[in-house]
Amino acid sequence: MFDFRPDPAQPKPETYRQLCDAADALTAGERDAVANMANVAALMWEFLPELNWAGFYRMDRSVSGGELVLGPFAGRPACIRIPLGKGVCGAAAATGESQLVEDVHAFPGHIACDAASRSELVVPVIRDGDVVAVIDLDSPALARFDVEDRAGIEALAALLSSRI
């Protein structure tokens, strides 16, 4: 049995270090990408406060031009398919760059899967130079995410790049 519970009073970098350690422990040696994404989505939900959605969108290149398809997550039901370049997730997948958005309503082309979301952090998971998925975090709090959150989720994405 696993019981990963961070101390809510610890500094953010320590929370993300522990999140990555827990994700490493859960995914090491497991070959099933869906199982690994499911466990990591649950960990993010457990570790990170003020979220209303935490999970993955997977890259589907079988569609002309590619698109993102909903993967394992914690939170309310979500959009199933997102074209590359559309919304925050599509922008991260198309550019291969993290998107830290303080106010999603000010983001051109934002896709509102949950009207309660106010801020968003999306980090691409890159393997061999290709985006294979994105990690998506939504919050009902305006400007919930900062550069420490981006660095922490980028470290998590790097860890997962060969495991999903």
Taking only the tens place, the pLDDT of each residue in 72-115 is 999 999 999 999 999 999 999 999 999 999 999 888 777 777 77
Average of per-residue pLDDT across 6-20:
92
pLDDT at 36: 98
Burial call 31-61: b when 16+ CB within 10 Å, e when fewer: eebeebbbbbbbbbbbbbeebbbbbbbbbee
Side chain identity at residue 140, one-letter code? P
pLDDT at 31: 96
pLDDT at 9: 87
Residue 3's alpha-carbon distances to 13, 25, 42, 156, in angstroms, are 20, 12, 12, 19
Residue 56's alpha-carbon distances to 7, 36, 38, 134, in angstroms, are 25, 11, 9, 6
Query: How many degrees, rounded to 5, is the angle at CA 113 between CA 26 and CA 135?
Result: 30
SS3 23: helix
pLDDT at 94: 96
Phi, psi of 49 (to 5 degrees): -75, 165
- 3 vs 148, residue with greater confidence: 148
Domain boundaries 12-160, CATH class? alpha beta
Report which DSSP code applies to 51: -
Res. 65 pLDDT band, cuts 50 70 90: confident
pLDDT at 4 over 60: yes
pLDDT at 126: 98
Q: What is the mean pLDDT of the chain?
A: 93
pLDDT at 113: 73
What would the pLDDT profile of 30-61 be if each residue is shown by its tens digit? 999 999 999 999 999 999 999 999 999 999 99
